[in-house]
Each structure stands twice: as structure tokens, then as C-alpha cells.
Amino acid sequence: MQNGRGGMSSFMDELSDEEIWDVINDIRG
């Protein structure tokens, strides 16, 4: 999922890689 090309690709495409992982880490806690 490092390239953000999963089921949330349309959401991921609007974010940079760092922003994606910030969101993922925030969700995971």
C-alpha cells in the first residue's frame, strides 16, 4: 500500500505520501 493504489486510491491521490501515512498512523493511533 506504499503507493496508495488500494481501494482508497481516489482518496489517496489527493494526498502526498507523507500526508497519507500521517492519516494512516493517526487512524491506527
The span from the CA of 6 to the CA of 22, in Å, is 17
The span from the CA of 2 to the CA of 17, in Å, is 8
Identify whether the C-beta of residue 20 lies closer than 8 Å to the C-beta of residue 12. Answer: yes
How much is the pLDDT for 6?
Answer: 58
Tally of domains within the chain:
1
How deeply is 23 buried, as exposed, middle or buried, from its count of CB atoms within 10 A (0-12, 13-18, 19+)?
Answer: middle
How much is the pLDDT for 11?
Answer: 65
How much is the pLDDT for 28?
Answer: 94
CA triple 15-6-22, angle to 5 deg = 40
Residue 2 sits in which domain range?
1-29
pTM score: 0.40
How much is the pLDDT for 3?
Answer: 55
How much is the pLDDT for 8?
Answer: 60
Model confidence over 1-29: pLDDT tens digits? 555 555 566 665 677 888 888 989 999 98
